[in-house]
């Protein structure tokens, strides 16, 4: 399973930026369409060195709207 820092690197490479953090919960935001003001928010609730469980990875992929192939090694 990928580590949190790997997932964050993928998100940042595709336009997501840290929006806010409270404790270990971080929310990354990307503006998808500026004219319609649509955005995507991804919540990551683990520390950088931890591995992400398969279920949580699925939730992150759905929240981001990015293709699954980006998250494969």
- What the chain holds in terms of domains, given with CATH numbers, is 4-66 (3.30.920.30)
DSSP 8-class letter at 7: H
Model confidence at 68: pLDDT above 90: yes
Alpha-helical runs (H) found in the chain: 4-13, 54-64
CB 32 within 8 A of CB 21: no
- 19 contacts: CB under 8 Å, gap ≥ 6: 27, 28, 29, 41
Distance between CA 5 and CA 12 in Å, rounded?
Answer: 10
Confidence of residue 48 (pLDDT cuts 50, 70, 90): confident
DSSP 8-class letter at 50: S
Average pLDDT of the chain, as a whole number:
91
């Amino acid at each position: 399973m990928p580590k949190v820092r790997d997932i964050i690197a993928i998100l940042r490479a595709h336009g997501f930026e840290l929006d806010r953090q409270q404790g270990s919960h971080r929310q990354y935001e990307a503006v998808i369409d500026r004219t319609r003001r649509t955005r995507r928010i991804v919540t990551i609730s683990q520390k950088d060195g931890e591995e992400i469980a398969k279920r949580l990875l699925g939730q992150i992929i759905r929240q981001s709207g990015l293709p699954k192939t980006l998250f494969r090694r």
